[in-house]
Amino acid sequence: MSTVTTGALLIIFLPFLLSLFGQSGQAKMLCLTSSILGLLLSVEQYGAVMPWVLGMIVATVSLWEQIIPIHSKDSPTKRRGGICSRRAPFVELAGPGLRAPRCQALKELSGRSQRGDSAW
């Protein structure tokens, strides 16, 4: 009887246990909440199915976000920060840990006012 109860608890809390391997704290809290809700609703037959499925979806997405950057680390079109921002190009300095941004060439000034509010 105790192995059945332990197995049932392990299955009910599986979304939370999987989300522990992800990065997002919000996903961990959602999975914990869905697991507790599934435990409370498991009194009825098939009552824990919907919270368990939703928790598994959240945990799977959390794990997916953890795994994907490993495979697409060298992808130049990878989105960072929610907007497709480009990283500054870096050049190697003396050691492997020392890096500095590459200097961009300055544009030649035309000699006129650059502000646009000049009368000339």
Q: What is the pLDDT of residues 101-114, one digit of tens each?
A: 555 555 565 566 55
Where in the chain are the domains? 24-71
Quick one: pLDDT at residue 30?
A: 94
pTM value? 0.55
Going by C-alpha positions, the residue among 64, 58, 66 that lies closest to residue 28 is 58
Of the two residues 11 and 100, the one the predictor is more confident about is: 11
Q: What angle do CA 67, 32, 42 make, to 5 degrees?
A: 120
Using an 8 Å Cβ cutoff, are 63 and 14 in contact? no
